[in-house]
Amino acid sequence: MLFSQGYQQLPTFDKGAGEHDSFQRKEPRKRRFSLLGIAVIVIIMCASLPRIIRSRGFWAACHGPQRNSSTLAKLPSHYTLPSGDKIPSVALGVWQAGKGEVGSAVTTALKAGYRHIDGAWIYRNEEEVGQALKASSVPREELWLTSKLWNTFHAPEDIEPALDQSLSMLGTDYLDLYLIHWPIAFKKEGANVLDEDLTADPYPTWQKLEELVDKGKIRNIGISNFNIRRIQNLTANKLKYQPAVNQVELNFWNPQPELLKWSKENGLLLEAYSPLGSNTQVGKSLAVPEVKDIASKLGITPAQVIISWSVQRGTIVLPKSVTASRIVENLDVFEIPQEDFEKLEEAAALHPPQRVVNPSNGWKLPFDVFE
Ligand code: A2P
């Protein structure tokens, strides 16, 4: 089609006779040169076509982005905690991974190369996670397992039994990281009855966690959903072990640049939960124009852009998925060129912060947990 169109566009030399005849009869030299010209054009096109097709822009336009791990620099695969332990920068998050699907998600993740699983007692899926870990051939020492102390277990005497439950469900005798899930303590009896004392002062809870580190049941301890004021409230005490991490919601809609800056200045590593905006915002996150542009420019997926951005911001990232192809995709993080990184950072800060997760109303707290 292309060639015949090209041929038809060649000039004719005989106004009176048929085109073909005029070529043969009157202009044999010109015809030879014209055919030579066509041949040269065809050769050039044939030579460049595969290159054009292989090029990322063309490929992305026709088939969506391709993964291009060979040409992009990789981001750090681990961070070092104050204990000296190395924590993998990308984890499989299992919040909202339901029963019957979380086990296969963990199995897929381990096969894909994940070594970090971020869970919690309250996710109600630790048993299935534990079964998948047991069925895998990955040695325990190669794994990084995180769990979290639920709000009803902040009283020092309740902590070890809660930890033991998680350990037993996960089928392990130690955790790599155990976090205070929320800076909110509930009384054991009644639903969501605030324990004002332990909420106002988490130090007794922390001291017990320190004891459990010394006992060998936990390697590192940290916090989750703590704002700066609440962190300082805890660290104003003479801690034996500083919090190793603070796990908070960090995504395009809630990028928290001030908390990130403060945490870096104070040597506290952040972990990003709901990095894609959780199931309610993921579609919107992946459709952000800056995200899409960078994805097609780099030949990676929009999810990989956001996950990479999280690691490049200097945080651990915990994307959740129960879909095999996405689990594999989410582990591949790449360095985003500085100008694109800054574009993303600016775009994320342009709109008012919008959290996916704020249980203050649901728990009927007399305050906002993030204020
Ligand atoms: P699913 O678990 O069905 O694969 P977050 O990590 O911010 O909590 O987001 C989790 C949500 O994002 C889930 O709905 C998950 O769906 C979806 N998700 C995870 N990875 C990807 C991906 N690579 N592409 C598209 N959606 C994804």
Residues 172-225 have pLDDT tens digits of: 999 999 999 999 999 998 889 999 999 999 999 999 999 999 999 999 999 999
Question: Rounded CA gap, 328 and 111, in Å?
Answer: 9
Atom of ligand 1 nearest to the CA of 93: 6
Angle at 306 between CA 93 and CA 369, to 5 degrees: 60
pLDDT tens sequence for the chain (371 residues): 333 333 223 222 222 333 333 333 334 455 565 666 666 666 655 555 544 443 343 434 443 444 455 678 889 999 999 999 999 999 999 999 999 999 999 999 999 999 999 999 999 999 999 999 999 999 999 999 999 999 999 999 999 999 999 999 999 999 999 999 999 999 998 889 999 999 999 999 999 999 999 999 999 999 999 999 999 999 999 999 999 999 999 999 999 999 999 999 999 999 999 999 999 999 999 999 999 999 999 999 999 999 999 999 999 999 999 999 999 999 999 999 999 999 999 999 999 999 999 999 999 999 999 99
The set of catalytic residues is 123
> Do the bridges between strand 144-149 and strand 177-180 make them parallel or antiparallel, or are there none, so unpaired?
parallel
CA-CA distances (angstroms) from residue 326 to 129, 276, 368?
18, 12, 34
Pick from 179, 177, 178, 197: nearest CA to 187: 197
Protein residue with least CA distance to atom 13, ligand 1: 279
Mutate to test the pocket of ligand 1, among 94, 300, 323, 332 (most ligand atoms within 8 A of CB): 323
Atom of ligand 1 nearest to the CA of 326: 23
Could you give the 3-state DSSP secondary structure of residue 94?
coil
For residue 192, the one-letter residue type is N
Distance, CA 275 to ligand 1 centroid (Å)? Answer: 9
Task: Give the rounded distance of the alpha carbon of 309 from its chain centre.
Answer: 8
In 10 A of CB 76, how many CB atoms? 14
Pocket of ligand 1 (CB under 6 A): 93, 274-279, 282, 303, 319-323, 326, 329-330
Protein residue with least CA distance to atom 21, ligand 1: 326
- At residue 257, what are phi and psi to the nearest 5 degrees? -60, -30
Pick from 161, 159, 275: nearest CA to 207: 159
Length of the chain (residues): 371
Could you give the 3-state DSSP secondary structure of residue 87?
strand
Q: Where are the domains of the chain?
A: 24-63, 78-348
Protein residue with least CA distance to atom 18, ligand 1: 321
pTM for this one? 0.83
The answer to whether the CB of 313 falls within 8 A of the CB of 336 is: no
In 10 A of CB 180, how many CB atoms? 28
Rounded (10°) angle between helices 289-298 and 56-63: 120
Residues 302-341 have pLDDT tens digits of: 999 999 999 999 999 999 999 999 999 999 999 999 999 9
Mutate to test the pocket of ligand 1, among 274, 282, 327 (most ligand atoms within 8 A of CB): 282
Instruction: Could you please state the CATH topology (level 3) that the domain comprising 78-348 is classified under.
Output: TIM Barrel (3.20.20)
